[in-house]
Structure 1
């Protein structure tokens, strides 16, 4: 549906205590193609009608008994469902125009009516109103999509963490310098690697009981920024017992393709062999 067709299907409420004015506007708008017209000569009914029908435009006379147009606009502002006030005021008093705009009206039409002015101001107002609603709907859909995607991402992350915990003894991440930045699981207690990188220097490997040849191979793989899968290496503890570990890892890169470290999982095989 084109925007012009949507404008002609806009819901319009005419509010005037003079029947002749109501009939004139109804005839003019009907001939212009507007198909959803309503009218009332009771200003105290406007707020309830708007809450029920959510009009796209209210043509509101200012000079009315019981409740004038300014009071009607104050009542309309209490509509929490829509902060936009879709009102064009109808007035024969030039001094009321600025006051009406300050009160929240979006435009005004002078009395006696100039038919070309009436049609032009109404069309322009409805075009802005419908575009405003489209933008609001788009923003609401965008927020809903973001919330949905965020929930899916959190669920995926939780699933990944659960699978990682089931499939391994620890999950780890290192920065580009080989320093551990994230570790989950008992790796620190198992390996004593609080400050050591995964591919430790030869001297540290010797002091820590690591098999130097195995660490040399792992260090070479990391230096080439290559992934490694189920890599097995060994360590002799202070009590003389040998520990066997299996680790898998992959390099991480940022959006600029700059290397930022490694991440992976590991498991102790000692008790499983």
Structure 2
């Protein structure tokens, strides 16, 4: 929200080639409580002044010699730091109102001034302008926060993978159909698993000798979507040696609690005769 103090502290520029009009608007604004009011009778200065001071509102007369208000607005568009042109035009020509709005002005005040209407239009436009600036600032902060959190998550994931690789022989992930989607280390070679072979089918037709009791217990845990820690399973190799593995895994779910697969780590223990 924008409070009254924010509005009265807004940065305002009056642009009019007639000193009497400038003085009238300055008096109107000061009496209304506005504290930061500047003015110029030279329209060619407006773009430079706005670049330097970032006005919240520019009260711009349209009928000025040398450089009219429409030319001033074109110059401001080339220089604007955002896409909101904070211009309230002042005109005695009814047919200029629509043209001014089409040129980028946000509102208009008719000459001769209706002081009550002028105060209302100035205040309303300042409130909208300050809300726009707050929203723009919020979006920038939000974007920066998202970028920072994304970087933190990527760094955390990198640390996690590094630690799992140091603490195990392999890291693995599987999809909801239990096909291997990511492995770090020689997991497929060590287990004799062909890519695409579901978990709980260690080796399949490619490797024999797996302990069926252990294999079925692992299949049961996976079917129940249960985590498992240091689960040991083994196989007997063709040379008669027994090879043992220890694996830990956990099911993964998306934000809708839909099962999307497993991930875990594994260690190959020493083979023995």
What TM-score do the two structures reach when normalised by structure 2?
A: 0.91
Query: Does 1:211 find its partner at 2:211?
Result: yes
Question: Aligned residue for 1:130?
Answer: 130
Residues 169-221 of structure 1: CA deviation (Å, up to 9, x unaligned): 111223444332332221111111124333228x9499611122222332233
Mark the CA change 1:205 to 1:49 in structure 2 (over 3 Å): closer, same or farther. same
Question: Aligned residue for 2:197?
Answer: 196
Question: Aligned residue for 2:37?
Answer: 37
Query: Does 1:144 find its partner at 2:144?
Result: yes
Q: Is the 8 A contact 2:247 2:264 kept in 1?
A: yes
Which secondary structure does the structure 1 equivalent of 2:37 belong to?
strand
Q: Which runs of 5+ in 1 are unaligned?
A: none
Distance, in Å, in 2 between the alignment partners of 1:244 and 1:79 is: 71
53-62 vs 92-101, greater mean Cα deviation: 92-101
Q: Which runs of 5+ in 2 are unaligned?
A: none
Residues 62-94 of structure 1: CA deviation (Å, up to 9, x unaligned): 111221111111100011422211001111111
Question: Aligned residue for 2:184?
Answer: 184
Question: Aligned residue for 2:100?
Answer: 100
Q: Is the 8 A contact 2:178 2:261 kept in 1?
A: yes
Mark the CA change 1:72 to 1:271 in structure 2 (over 3 Å): closer, same or farther. farther
Distance, in Å, in 2 between the alignment partners of 1:204 and 1:42 is: 86
165-174 vs 46-55, greater mean Cα deviation: 165-174
Residues 1-60 of structure 1: CA deviation (Å, up to 9, x unaligned): 952221111111001110000001000110000010000011111110000000000001
Distance, in Å, in 2 between the alignment partners of 1:257 and 1:94 is: 62
Question: Aligned residue for 2:264?
Answer: 264
Q: Is the 8 A contact 1:234 1:244 kept in 2?
A: yes
Distance, in Å, in 2 between the alignment partners of 1:74 and 1:207 is: 76
Q: Is the 8 A contact 2:249 2:265 kept in 1?
A: yes
Q: Is the 8 A contact 1:90 1:111 kept in 2?
A: yes
Distance, in Å, in 1 between the alignment partners of 2:207 and 2:131 is: 72
167-176 vs 154-163, greater mean Cα deviation: 167-176
Runs of 4+ with >6 A deviation: none
Query: Does 1:19 find its partner at 2:19?
Result: yes
Which secondary structure does the structure 2 equivalent of 1:28 belong to?
helix
Question: Aligned residue for 2:252?
Answer: 252
Residues 66-124 of structure 1: CA deviation (Å, up to 9, x unaligned): 21111111100011422211001111111211111111111111111111111011011
Distance, in Å, in 2 between the alignment partners of 1:33 and 1:44 is: 28
Which secondary structure does the structure 2 equivalent of 1:251 belong to?
strand
TM-superposed CA distance for 1:271, in Å, is 6.7
Give the RMSD, CA atoms, in angstroms: 2.2
Q: Is the 8 A contact 1:205 1:215 kept in 2?
A: no
TM-superposed CA distance for 1:248, in Å, is 0.7
Distance, in Å, in 1 between the alignment partners of 2:104 and 2:259 is: 56
73-82 vs 176-185, greater mean Cα deviation: 176-185
